[in-house]
Amino acid sequence: MVQPRAAIFDLDGTLVDSAHLHHESWRQLCLELGLPPMTEADFFACFGQANRTIIPDLLGRPTDAAEVERLSARKEALYRAVAVRELTLFPGAMELLLGLAADGWRLAIGSSTPRANMDALVPALGLTDLLQATVAMEDVTAHKPEPDVFLECARRLGVPPARCLVFEDAPAGVLAGMAAGMATIGVLTHHPAADLVGAVAWVEGLWEVSPPACEGWLALAG
């Protein structure tokens, strides 16, 4: 009997090329607040982190939870307004998901994105019937690089962490996958391999990945 195994994917930068839309929504928020626009370097330094981590640094002053929540909601509303119309999966992503599903893998998305984004984008991308679980920002109390998001995915999928494979494009996400005890694949969409230390393998994009390769990485990590 084949032991259950799971593939858990980050969303932004791994399954979808959303960086430019997220950056633009931060720029718009800065404009509304009268702040200097977020530079590309600053954006990629924090891409993949939760808004509650980013916003105090953006403001450059102490803030409270209510203000963080209000500004986070505004930024994500700016993002969703465009993302549901413009976002598409990276090349190879749908083919990989379909292949893994056909081979009996359980599939999930584990992301720092807010639940409203997840619930809007998963159906827009045609992923609803392929996924057995989605875990978003509100579903855990500690965020990447802490392992909670991936451990919650494993719990919802009913698969032990050692039988889970994580795909991540951000340093914080790779650290989270490692901390969860999961074999983690670095996807080099926005960071070089040197920034994704600890990954068991690196790929330029999901078009390079096949179900047999996933089996091999899982066996190697075990």
Residues involved in catalysis: 10, 12
Quick count: other Cβ atoms within 10 Å of Cβ 193? 12
Q: Tokens for 137?
A: 């920002």
Strands (E), 22-100: none
Query: Residue 174 contacts by C-beta under 8 Å, 6 or more apart in sequence?
Result: 168, 184, 186, 196, 197, 198, 199
Query: Residue 107 contacts by C-beta under 8 Å, 6 or more apart in sequence?
Result: 6, 7, 8, 9, 97, 100, 101, 130, 131, 132
Torsions phi, psi for 70 (to 5 deg): -65, -45
Angle at 86 between CA 83 and CA 91, to 5 degrees: 110
